[in-house]
Amino acid sequence: MAQQIKQIRGAAAISFIDHLKSSENFKLLFREGMAMVEEAAAYLDGPGREESKGLPRAPALAYATESMRLTTRLMQMASWLLLQRAVNEGEMSQSQAAADKHKVRMTRQDMAAPAEVYAQLPDRLRVLSEKSLRLQARIIHLDRSIYRSLEQPEAAAVVTVAEQMDRLRAAFGAV
């Protein structure tokens, strides 16, 4: 038991977040985010522009608002993904990324238009908006996990485990 405690104390903690952000899952998330940027740009510059011309006044205003919010959301996500990829590829440190992170505002957005007006928007815009909100939620979760782990070093978790093991040995007697 004492040998196991020494091994636990000496072992480096494995960071799930460090593994996740440099894993194939991150690469998939990166590709998904960048593909969504391209998909939205193609829609908004082409078919979306034509669809918006035929909308009544309130839905046309909602279209303009939602397309701007979609574009802003996607640019924020793309910036965050590019920043994390730079860290993963060793182009910058995690602390440098944390310093630059304040420039990329990752906050959850709700739909701006009332439900009855939102329902009148073109289907493709609604699909893109909803899809981008789901992707944004995933990125926000990952962002919080990454930067929370920077605030709470893993070494402290190892010490806490070791301290708990010492308390257990003291309570039940040395084995």
Average pLDDT over residues 41-49: 97
pLDDT value at position 152? 54
In angstroms, the Cα distances linking 96 to 35, 93, 111 are: 26, 5, 33
Question: What pLDDT, on a 0 to 100 scale, did the predictor assign at position 105?
Answer: 65
Q: What is the pLDDT of residue 82?
A: 92
Between 60 and 166, whose confidence is greater?
A: 60
pLDDT value for 20: 57
Mean pLDDT of 22-30: 86
- What CATH number has the domain spanning 16-159? 1.10.8.930
Per-residue pLDDT at 14 = 47
